[in-house]
Each structure stands twice: as C-alpha cells, then as structure tokens.
Structure 1
Amino acid sequence: MDKQLLVAGGGIGGLAAALAATRAGWEVRLFERAVQFSEVGAGVQLGPNAVRCLQAWGLEPALNAVAAFPQHLQVRSAMHGGVLATLALGEATVRRYGAPYATIHRADLHSLLLHAVQDHPAVQLNLGHAITQHEDTGNAVLVHVEHGQGQAKPVEGDALIGADGLWSRTRTQVWQDGSPRATGHLAYRALVPAQALPAAWRAQVTAWLGPRLHAVHYPVRRGEWMNLVVIIHGNPPQDLEHWDHAANAADLAHALEGTHPALQEVVHSVAAAGLGWRLWPLCDRAPMQSADAMARGLVALLGDAAHPMPPYLAQGAGMALEDATQLQAALALHDVEVPLRLRRYALNRWQRAARVQARSQRNGRIFHATGLVRWGRDLGLRVLGERLLDVPWLYRGDGMDAGLM
C-alpha cells in the first residue's frame, strides 16, 4: 500500500469511499467532524444497481440481516385513493436485474459500511476532526484539520475525496460555485412500528401522488418499522444548512386537507404511536455538465458533494455507492498517475449521475403536477403501468431509456 487517500466526511459516501479505496490497495485516513458516527432516523431505498455494489463488497449477508425487501411498488392517487399502477419487486427484480430491491434504515446502511472498515488495518477513522481547507501541490494534498483542541498538524496524502455532503467545504474551496439551491419542497419524515399501519401496506413501497405533494411509505429494519415521507411545497426554514428541524404536525395536516382518508390514516399513525415528525428542507444543484465537476487534480467529489438530487428517483444513496465502486476501479490503476485516475473516475461517473439528477428533478414536477398534466400522468400510469414504473437504464446501467420512477 504505497498510496494514501484522505476522505472528508464519514457518512454513507465517505465510508463507501474508504471501503472502496482499501479494496484498491490504498491506505485511508478519514476525517469526520462529528464526535461519534451516527445517522438520523430515516429510510433509504436501494435499487438493484445499489444492492449490486454492496454484493460486490461482500456485504450481502449484512444487508439481508437488517433490510426489508418489498414485494411491490404501488402508486396511488392521494386524492381519490385509487391504485394507478403497480410494479412487481421481490423475485421479479432479482430475475430482471440480478439483485433485489431493498429498503433500509439509513443508520443500518451506515452501520454495515462502518463495520466493514472500522477494524481494517489500512483505515484510520478520525472522529471530531473537520477538514477546514486543503492544498493541492500537484504531488500531494495537504489538509488542515480542526478538532476539539484547536487546529491539528497538517496531514499529507496522495489524493482527497470530498464526501462531505450537500454543504461540502471541499467543493466550496475548489469549485467555488455557490451554495445549493432551495427547491421549495419540504420533506416531513417519520418512523412508526409496522403494526401501526394496516397489514396491506407493510410489504410494499406505496407512493401517493397529489397536486403539489406526494407521500411514500415502506418497510425498514426487517419489516419491523415503516418509514414515512410526505413532501409538500412550502417556505423552508432560514437555516438550510442544518437540515434536520422539528416539524409542526399541524402544518402537515393542513397541507393534506382534502386528500384521501387512507393517506390521512397513515399520517395520523405517527401521532397515534406517540411519535413525531422531522422536517428536511430539500436542496439540490443543477445537473453536472462535465467530468470537471467531479474531479480536479488530486481532489475529487463523491455522493451529495458532487451531485445532490431530490429524492424523486430514490437514488441519493445508490449514486454514492456507485461512485465508490467506480472510484475503486480508478484507484486500482496502479500504473497511472493519480490525477489521471481521478479523471478516469469522473469520466466514468458524471454523465450517469447527471442523468439521474435531471430525472429526479423531472420526477418532482411530475409527482406534484396539477391540472391537465396531473390528469395525463394518472392516465399514463393506468395504461402503461409497469412500463412507466420500471427503470431499466438505471437498474441495469446499460443506457436504455425508460420509466417515470
């Protein structure tokens, strides 16, 4: 191991990058500003493209121990409650794409990646350490680290991966392209015991589409809990960077007035279980325009730091895992100079990630459509069904174009 990778950020993307680098024969020093590893209580959907990444790293048994594997994706009208379309998941997804569709608590995904790297002799995890700035000398990267006792001694490495999320300091220093943009969409998130919802909802992903809103719920933690997300239009909190806010359930109830009683029953299950909602103001960036948006010199971006996207294609975590897989392949090119390895990583990733960004943003407009567009959307779902819900180009990664979701 003659190369050392520095990683900014210890979330899902940062841990995946660390794991990928060790498999490419690199040593890793990861810096996480939080004093302990943790992930908020929210669910993540992993399409077969993302599950294949975990399988390749030998993490399928760990995934199977904590995830749920829904049998169907069902889309309903938030207004009249009727089924608009259904897509078979479960074994059907395995047959089509070689891997299942999984739903998982975000903390469980983070934990299984952490367990894969925390005892690895090539990985040094530094908690309570934040990279405040870096210098790319052309031959090495020098990072300046801040911790509880003040400024630490500079650390040198052969490359730096900015996996430090939506508000990435790494991106700010190198790309200087401004802050993420507020979408005007607010995500209310909650977890409830599975028994709090009718049995019919517990083994599937259910999406409710309505004018200027939609809701999704699906099982996590082996099906013992249900993750609920309701996204509405509204004014975001002033403090966008600290995205996790206490939510006012009355505001959510007001936004859902007029929706179908079955949807309102799902939403009311949170209060009935004595639990609460958290509010996430959604932000994103325009889709990337070139490989230069992901790598420059000895610095590259990964996950939300590179290509943040709204959750309307359920691919945020999946794209970070895919990034790490391609990073592994690039770092393993041991006869190639490091800047060229990072360039190869960016060239192999930017177009696909940009396409997912654009599709996610488009889906947001479709999901929340009003008037004739909403009518056409519902008709298209009723007529075309699985052809609109399936996404072969995404789940196979073969460039085929299809799908609404």
Structure 2
Amino acid sequence: MKNNVLVAGGGIGGLACALALGRAGVPVTVLEQAPAFGEIGAGIQLGPNAMRVLSDWGVADALHEHASFPDELRVRSAKDGQLLGHMRLGASALAHYGHPYASVHRADLHRVLLSALLAGAPASLSLNARIASFESQADGVSLRLEAGQALQGEALIGCDGLWSRVRTGLLGPEPPRLTGHLAYRGMIPADRLPRALATNTVNAWLGPRMHVVHYPIRQGRWFNVVAVVQGRAGQGHAGSDPRQWSQDALTDDLLRAMGPLGADLQGLIDAVPSWTLWSLHDRPPMTGPHEHAQGRVALLGDAAHPLRPYLAQGAAMALEDAWTLGQLIDRHQHPVDWSSVFQRFARSRWQRNARVQAQSLRNGRIFHARGLVRWGRDTAMNLLGEKLMDNPWLYGGPPLPAE
C-alpha cells in the first residue's frame, strides 16, 4: 500500500483534514470531484472554537485580511424590529475565550486553507476525481474512481459532504432527510444597505416559521444575508436535484413565505440584488462512534454529522474534526496504526458533534416558534440576554482528544 492517506473532498473540511495531517507529517492525496478547487455559497460564521483551530495551524493571520469581526449579536423581531436580546462579541469574546468571533466568505477561508496546504504540507491534489467504490483491507484501502483509475492508501477519510459516497460505502445508502426548510442566500455591498443595517454586528430576525440572519464579511465591505423559511421543496426556480447547493430563486417567493415584515427587515430584503435557494437536508444526531469511523475509513464534517444552520457551527465542527485527527498522530510512530487513530478520533468527537446537531435542531424550533413558545422565547431573551445565548461549552473548544 502506498504510504499516504486518501482524503475524499476538496472543500473546507477536506483541505482542513489534509492540512492537519500534513502538519503531522502524513502524506495526503486529496480527491476533488469538481474540475477546480473552490467554494460555492457565501458567508459563514466562525466562533472562537473555530478560530482557535485556525490559530493553532498558523493561518488565522492570513484569514484576518479577509474576515470581519462583529462587535455584537442582536436578535430582533422580524415583524417590528424590536430588540429581543443581544450578546457581546468583539473584545468581549476575545477576552473571554482567547480568540475572536469572525464572519467570512466561504471562498476566502477555502483559499487560505488551500494556500497553507500548498505552502508546505506533503499533499497531492487531484481534480475530476469522483469516487466510484472502495474496499477496506487489513493493511490499507483500495479505491476506484469513476474515470477508472485505481488508487491505494493506508486509510481513507470521507470529507465529501452531505451526499458523501464514502459514507454510503461505510454505513449504507440511507439518504439525508429533507427538513422542509429552504435557505435563500444573498450578498450585498455595504454601501447599498440602509445605514442603520450596515453595522458591525450579526443580526438575527425571528418570525413565525422563518428567520433572517445578516452580518458583515470581507472587512465590512459586503454583507451576507440568509433567510430561512419553512416551505415545499422545489419552490420557485429550484430544480429537482436536491444535491444542488445554489439554485436561482425569486424574491417574490421569499416574501410570500416570510409574511409581514417590519420596515427595516423589508428594506434589507429589498436591497439584496439576487437570491439563490438551498433546500436544507440533515441527518439525525449521531448515535455512536461507529458513525464516525470503522477500521481504516473515517468520516469528517458533513459526511458524518450534517447540521442545520441554526448554531452557525457547520464549518467549525469540520475544522474541529480535522484538528482532533492531527492531534492524534504520533510523529514517532511508523507506520501509523490508522484503525487505532480512527477509533480514538471517533470516541473523541461523536458526542460533541451529536450535541451540536441536537442544539441546532432545537434552535431551529425556537427561532421559528409561534404562540406561547414564541412568547416564552422573547421573555427569556429579554430577562437572560447573554446568559441564554452564550455557549461556553462550545466556544471554549475543541476539547483535547479522549484517551
């Protein structure tokens, strides 16, 4: 078997995995099914736990050139703009957790990781490399691509996202579940926003069966906007392929799904020049370490534990997964006992990832609440504020690997 690890997927999770292993001296082959390396989508939020990982890898400074660092999280009513609660970020997050809270464009984070990988990690990158099948043996993994090439490696790590082929080969063909939630995404230059909305804050607007989030990216020059509504898959211009990340969408469809809005939020929605639509899928929270790894095959990020975007931790959990793997590599152990490493990795990660999955589900129900639940949510936010919204168990991570 070749002395390398095969990493399926060249997105944020795959590059993070390759970088973490490369820093530990492990040669890696990254297999990306697309014809070019890059990221689609728009903005993401990176809590102090994610920034701690990037700092440990020495790439946080490079990301600072592209990121924004919001001063505050504000939660507001979608109907009338009333402030429901807030949480300090900025200097407060830095003082409390030792690392900042950042918001970035996905493509900027991807470029930073790719540059770091190319700068010195022992990695080779292959494009148009779509996995057809693999077989795990006692001394390695054999893999075949759709184009016919056969590859061998000491281990295989599936970082190939929600519709992971590695997951299918490891755990069976159970597809992701359709959530009934639709995410409309857009970006807007800061100078096209109403002045009251172009602030260095993360704003979350909550309404019945919907919510909107907007925050600065690219050092405040742009704002990312995500509106999530509950509705029928295939609404508007969405195609029939649920695996498609970005599909053209109509503003009128979004406005009909959202219902009456306050003037500020209406102004924000009207200012977005165009929308893309993403039909949200997920999986139930993990139930055990077997869902993370078996033998010489492991799953990382969305391939193992896809999240609804209601805790802003999808990218962070992939980064934490990769960091944990890197921590488990003993530079003095040759060859690496991958089955043992993956077993420790799975024990270390599955419960935390399951908790984040469960919290994301819960947040979605709270964000979209109606009736008495909505009243209780608003009252609790008003009374408890930061104590309710802060997550020390989360932002203080990632935890060190389990023994």
- The answer to whether TM tops 0.5 is yes
CA displacement at 1:103 relative to structure 2? 0.1
Cα distance per residue 1:109-158 (max 9 Å; x no partner): 11100111124361100011112111101111111123xxx312x11111
1:227 to 224, 229, 238: 224
Partner of 1:138: 138
The counterpart of 2:179, out of the listed 158, 161, 183, is: 183
> Structure 2: how far apart are the matches of 1:223 and 1:261?
23
The answer for the alignment partner of 1:281 in structure 2 is 279
Which secondary structure does the structure 2 equivalent of 1:178 belong to?
coil
Residue of structure 1 in register with 2:237 after alignment: none
- Tell me the residue number matched to 1:125: 125
1:198 shift after superposition: 2.7
Mapped partners of 2:54, 2:209: distance in 1: 35
- The aligned counterpart of 2:18 is 18
The equivalent position to 1:305 in structure 2, one of 303, 306, 316, is: 303
> Residue in 2 aligned with 1:248?
250
Unaligned runs of 5+ in 1: 400-405
8 A Cα contact 1:118 1:125, kept in partner: no
SS at match of 2:373: helix
Q: State the secondary structure of the residue aligned to 1:63.
A: helix
| 1:31 corresponding residue in structure 2 | 31
Residue aligning to 1:60: 60
Note if contact 1:333-1:341 (Cα within 8 Å) is conserved in structure 2.
no
Following superposition of structure 1 onto structure 2, how do residues 131-280 of structure 1 map, counting pairs within 5 Å? Answer: 131-146=131-146, 150-152=147-149, 154-176=150-172, 178-201=174-197, 202-237=199-234, 238-270=240-272, 275-280=273-278
1:381 lines up with 2:378 in the alignment: no
CA distance in 2, matches of 1:15, 1:203: 29
Aligned residues: 390
Q: Which residue of 2 aligns with 1:97?
A: 97
Answer yes or no: is the 8 Å Cα contact 2:25–2:331 preserved in 1. Answer: no
Amino acid at match of 1:251: D
Amino acid at match of 2:101: Y
**Pair 1:46 & 2:46 matched:** yes
My pick for the range that moved more, 103-112 or 170-179, is: 170-179
| d(CA) in 1 for partners of 2:51, 2:221 | 20
Contact 1:331 1:338 survives alignment (8 Å): no
Structure 1, residues 161-214: CA drift from partner, whole Å, max 9, x if none? 000000000000110050000100000000000112233332000000100000
Partner of 1:402: none
The 1-side partners of 2:108 and 2:80 are apart by: 35
Read off the aligned partner of 2:17 and give its amino acid letter.
A
**Letter aligned with residue 265 of structure 2:** L
User: Whole-Å Cα distance in 2 between the matches of residues 69 and 281 of structure 1?
Assistant: 29
Q: 1:369: Cα distance to partner?
A: 0.5
Query: What's 2:324 paired with?
Result: 326
Could you tell me how far 1:397 is from its partner in structure 2? 2.9
Determine if contact 2:290/2:346 at 8 Å carries over to the other structure: yes
Q: TM-score, normalised by structure 2?
A: 0.94
Identity %: 51
Report the RMSD for the aligned CA atoms in angstroms: 1.4
> 1: CA distance between counterparts of 2:344 and 2:369?
39
Structure 1 CA distance for aligned equivalents of residues 324 and 74 of structure 2: 32
CA contact (8 A) 1:8 1:161 kept: yes
Any idea what SS the aligned residue of 2:70 has? coil
Give the deviation of 1:334 after TM superposition.
Answer: 5.0
Normalising by structure 1, what TM-score?
Answer: 0.94
